[in-house]
Amino acid sequence: MSPALEVEGLHTHFGGVSAVDGVSLVLEPGRIYGLIGPNGSGKTTLFNCITGVERRDAGRVAFNGQRIDGLKPWQIARKGIGRTFQVIRVFPELSALENLLVVTRGSRVAARERALELLTFVRLEGLRDEYAGNLSYGQQKLVEFVRVLMRDPSLILLDEPAAGVNRTLLQDLLDAVRRLRDRGKTILLVEHDMKVVMGLCETVFVLDHGEKIAEGPPGTIQTDERVIEAYFGR
Amino acid sequence: MNVVITPGMLGQVVISGILSGALYAMVALGLALIFGVMRVINIAHGPFLMLGAYATFVLHQALGLDPYLTLPASMLLLFALGALLQRTLVFRVVDAPELSSLLLTFGISISLVNLAQLGFTSDLRAIEYITGSWPLGPFALSKARTIAFGVALALTGAAFLVLGRTRLGKAIRATSQNRDVALACGINVQGIHLLTFGFAAALAGAGGTLLSVIVAIQPDMGQIWTFKSFLVIVLGGAGNYPGALVGGLLLGLIEQLSSLFLTAQLSEVIAYLLLVVVLLVRPTGLLGGRQV
Amino acid sequence: MSRRAGFLAALAAAAALLAVYPSVASGYGVRAGLQLFMWIALAGSWNIISGLTGYVSFGHVAFFGAGAYAAGILVVKSGWPWLPASLAGGVAACLLALVIGYPCLRLKGPYFAIAMLGLNEVVRALVSYFEGLTGGGNGLSLPTLDAAIPVYYVMGLTAAAVVALTYFVITSRFGLRLMTIREDEVAAEAMGIDTARHKLYAFLLSAVGPGIAGGLAARDQGYIEPVSVFPLATTITMIVMVLFGGKGTVWGPVLGAVVLFVFQELVWARFIYLHQLFFGAIIIAVVLLMPRGVLGLLQIRYRLPRTI
């Protein structure tokens, strides 16, 4: 069985700065991975390159054995990769329900049912007709999270899913992520909250200045010298 | 068309292209600055040029001033107008979605054109000042266009000197790259916006002054300049200021060259096709710049 | 339920009144009605692309002119009756939209706006170039025919069709997807929406109305020339009507068309030279103070349904 995601030698730069500098990683299906690193280390840029939002200069990306580098973002999304954004990007003048409906195709009735199910799961069904822009930060985050699930992607990229979400709901969210993994989905998440990363991820990648400096189980990463230096040193 | 094209004709056309290219570059630089610093798309840029031309016309008629001597006055006037518009209207849409700044400057543009029609009527005006050409070997350099070339080059050069060597220039470039960081560094971003918009308007006004002795002056004359200035920016790369120079030159050359093979009407179509093709093939501009 | 029935009843009554109108109105009155319908069709169509997707089309009058010329040429050179010729005008406009839209809509908003800015001039230049067909600067004269009343009805149907089209688009998922382009195009693409194709469809839909209206206007005026069918003023008026009434709403363009048309008729005669200035001022005022327009504002304030 081919890996869910294979990134090989990814390079991209802005102006004169290398944002992602030769990053390679492999994600096996049905596991939860973490991506950490100091601010500006290129984590979101890496997400953007994988999902086609950012143009890469070099390197390949393969999803389930198929190359996806160079494809448009919507083509990549339709192949089964879903993502959330670091800065929330719900559609503010659509209602919460519409935010979920708009990403679906096919039977509107089935889509609506699924949307209501997901909204109920994050306890937002009462706000389904509220403009997404009027919801609180945490509520918007949840809408964005379930919006990703509407198309039932097999690879899910989450960019700082825990930020701004209250503790109780965070537990539900993390449980949801585990259940998604149990159903065979692959998850890669960027997080700054170390407790979340340690408790959830099976393997962690560490980026610094656009390069991957470490890779391994959370326990090992925590004590890795280079990682400590990246965060606290210099 | 069975016209034989001689090297002489080609050479003449290349020279014409270079001469007009500098003017395109200067006017487009203003637009590039507004977009680079404020992310505003100034549809009123052409009308600024038109007002510069009228300013020269009025001063020439009323005070008998040599049109070229009116340059400082027209630049100052347009600077003031630009600054005023920025301070009262444009600053409100700097952070708004691009749609808002597009529509706002569009509203300003049509208002300015109408005001010009009210003030000057739609009659064509002309300034009979300098005609004829200077010979350069087998070629003829139109005097008015050559002077325009020289002045445009000088002004553009001065602008780049300011951008590259002075603190003000650094502040402008910093604000173009990252406004929040510039703010954090203590740069008066509001002031930079004001100055930039005013200066860009002044550059357009200068273009108008230089044009006033070359073409007929009428309220509509600016429209096509707005479009061409955008074309120059697209060619050179958005946010890439030196790119405006290259883009301007390119536009001038392509226009003149295509006039050899096509009628005047169709060369406008060429400019348009060029825009579409470049946007499709290399949206960051030929020299590479920011993607919008 | 009864609110909806009441609304439909009012609509039916209005339609009946408008249908009866020509039999009691003067020639001028019929013409005015016809023009109002034309503006509703134009504004409503502009709304479909620019109001919903946020992609500002500054050259939309090119479709009106293209429709006028297509219809005019068919009537004059091929002897077509004006009704099918006008419909063909709609098709011609659609084709033009395809040719322009296919490359240009792959660009992001500001670049698209710039490309549309130049479109008008280019189409006008092309019309002048193909003089043999279009009569160039001399224009094209249609055979004399007093068709004001039939054109009134067809234009009315066109306007109604545009409003109905807007309603169906806005209440569909297609329409929702168009709106996401306006809200956040990057996020929309990341969610699997092929934004380029959606923009193109919206653009094509927005060209048909002006194309047909152009053909009908050509019949009504009896004479077309580049300057009369490609004026920037027409695009400006369309834009102001939609901005004022409420972009992205169903009835906003209608409201804007009615209010501004009446304003135009009253002010035009007296202040013809201030026309653009007024419109410019209105655009500036709306953008700064009321960016969603009248109906858009009401919609947000009173939580009205999207079909307003």
**Residue C28: both structure tokens together:** 């001028």
Q: Which residues contact B264 (CB under 8 A, 6 or more apart)?
A: none
- C197 near B CB under 8 A: no
Give CA–CA dist A3/A33, Å, rounded. Answer: 13
Q: Phi/psi at A189 (nearest 5 deg)?
A: -125, 140
What's the pLDDT score for residue C268? 67
pLDDT in tens, C110-123: 788 888 887 877 88
pLDDT in tens, B72-95: 999 999 999 999 999 999 999 987
pLDDT in tens, B130-168: 888 888 888 888 888 899 999 999 999 999 999 889 988
Largest CA distance in chain C: 59
Alpha helices by DSSP H, B178-263: 179-184, 189-212, 223-236, 241-261
Cα angle value A126/A131/A136 (rounded, 5°)? 75
Interchain CB distance below 8 Å, C184 and A53? no
Q: Tell me what the pLDDT averaged over chain C comes to.
A: 90
| Residues facing residue A214 across a β-bridge | A206
The answer to whether B232 touches B225, Cβ cutoff 8 Å, is no
Q: Which residues contact C256 (CB under 8 A, 6 or more apart)?
A: C43, C240, C241, C242, C243, C244, C245, C246, C293, C294
What's the pLDDT score for residue B217? 92
Q: In angstroms, what separates the C-alpha of B280 from chain C's closest C-alpha?
A: 7
The answer to whether B241 touches B170, Cβ cutoff 8 Å, is no
Q: Which residue has the tokens 């501009």?
A: B285
> Coil, strand, or helix at residue B281?
helix
Give CA–CA dist A221/A121, Å, rounded. Answer: 33
pLDDT in tens, C182-199: 999 999 999 999 999 999
Give CA–CA dist C110/B100, Å, rounded. Answer: 11
Interchain CB distance below 8 Å, A72 and C189? yes
* Architecture of the structural domain at B7-281: Orthogonal Bundle (1.10)
Q: Which residue has the tokens 């039916």?
A: C12
> Coil, strand, or helix at residue C80?
coil
Q: In angstroms, what separates the C-alpha of B265 from chain C's closest C-alpha?
A: 6
What's the pLDDT score for residue B283? 67
**What's at B66, amino acid-wise?**
D
**What's at C34, amino acid-wise?**
L
- C269 near B CB under 8 A: no
What's the pLDDT score for residue B292? 44
Go through C157-176 and write b for each residue having 16 or more CB atoms within 10 A of its CB, e for each that does not.
Answer: ebbbebbebbeebbeebbbb
**Residue B224: both structure tokens together:** 């096509």
- pLDDT tier at B249 (50, 70, 90 boundaries)? very high
The domain segmentation of chain C, as residue ranges, is 24-231
The answer to whether C268 touches C275, Cβ cutoff 8 Å, is yes
The minimal CB distance from A94 to the residues C183, C186, C190 is found for C183
For residues A163, A165, A170 and A173, what is the CA-based torsion angle, rounded to 10 degrees? -90
**Residue A125: both structure tokens together:** 């069904």
Closest to C242 (Cα-Cα) out of C44, C104, C11: C44
**Domain total for chain A?**
1
- A114 near C CB under 8 A: no
The answer to whether C197 touches C53, Cβ cutoff 8 Å, is no
Q: Which residue has the tokens 């109604």?
A: C160
The DSSP string of C248-304 is: TSSSHHHHHHHHHHHHHHHHHHHHGGGHHHHHHHHHHHHHHH-TTHHHHHHHHHTT-
Chain A contact set for C176 (CB, 8 A): 94, 98, 101-102
Q: Which residue has the tokens 């964005």?
A: A144
What's the pLDDT score for residue B150? 93
Please check the confidence at residue B99 and state whether its pLDDT lies above 90.
no
Q: Phi/psi at B41 (nearest 5 deg)?
A: -100, 110
Give CA–CA dist B102/B109, Å, rounded. Answer: 10
Q: Tell me what the pLDDT averaged over chain A comes to.
A: 89
The answer to whether C75 touches C143, Cβ cutoff 8 Å, is yes
pLDDT in tens, C172-182: 999 999 999 99
- C122 near B CB under 8 A: yes
Chain B contact set for C46 (CB, 8 A): none
Give CA–CA dist B193/C73, Å, rounded. Answer: 51
Higher per-residue pLDDT: C305 or C57? C57
Chain C contact set for A85 (CB, 8 A): 187, 190
Name residues 182-241 of chain B within 8 A of C (Cβ).
223-224, 226-227, 230, 234
Would you give per-residue pLDDT tens digits along chain A (234 residues)? 688 898 888 888 876 677 888 899 999 999 999 999 888 788 988 999 999 988 888 899 999 989 998 899 999 999 999 999 988 999 998 999 999 999 988 888 999 999 999 999 888 989 999 999 999 988 899 999 999 999 999 999 999 988 888 888 888 889 999 999 999 999 999 998 888 998 899 999 999 888 888 899 998 888 888 888 887 765
The answer to whether B100 touches C291, Cβ cutoff 8 Å, is yes
The minimal CB distance from B268 to the residues C110, C125, C277 is found for C125
Which value does ipTM take for this structure? 0.89
**What's at C278, amino acid-wise?**
F
Interface test with C, best of A91, A104, A159 (most C CBs within 10 A): A91
Interface test with C, best of A76, A102, A141, A143 (most C CBs within 10 A): A102
Please, which chains are in contact with B (at least 3 CB pairs closer than 8 A)? C
Q: Tell me what the pLDDT averaged over chain B comes to.
A: 87
**Residue A84: both structure tokens together:** 């959330």
The domain segmentation of chain B, as residue ranges, is 7-281
Please, which chains are in contact with A (at least 3 CB pairs closer than 8 A)? C
- pLDDT tier at C271 (50, 70, 90 boundaries)? confident
Q: CATH number, domain at A214?
A: 3.40.50.300
What's the pLDDT score for residue B289? 57
- B102 near C CB under 8 A: yes
What's the pLDDT score for residue A233? 66
Interchain CB distance below 8 Å, C283 and B104? yes
> Coil, strand, or helix at residue C224?
strand
What's the pLDDT score for residue A150? 93
**Which residue does chain C place closest to A50, by CA atoms?**
C190
Q: In angstroms, what separates the C-alpha of B32 from chain C's closest C-alpha?
A: 14
Angle (deg, nearest 10), helices B45-63 and B223-236 = 130
Interchain CB distance below 8 Å, C284 and B104? yes
Q: Which residue has the tokens 């327009």?
A: C293
> Coil, strand, or helix at residue C226?
helix
- pLDDT tier at B47 (50, 70, 90 boundaries)? very high
The answer to whether A63 touches A72, Cβ cutoff 8 Å, is no
Structural domain containing residue A188: 5-232
Least confident range of A155-169, B219-233, C127-141, C199-213: C127-141
Please check the confidence at residue C160 and state whether its pLDDT lies above 50.
yes
- C31 near B CB under 8 A: no
Neighbours of A199 (CB within 10 A): 11
Beta strand ranges found along chain B (DSSP E): 133-136, 139-142
Closest to C147 (Cα-Cα) out of C231, C85, C202: C85
Please check the confidence at residue C275 and state whether its pLDDT lies above 90.
no
Please check the confidence at residue B284 and state whether its pLDDT lies above 70.
no
Interchain CB distance below 8 Å, C243 and B100? no
The minimal CB distance from C193 to the residues A74, A83, A85 is found for A74
pLDDT in tens, A109-133: 999 999 999 999 888 989 999 999 9
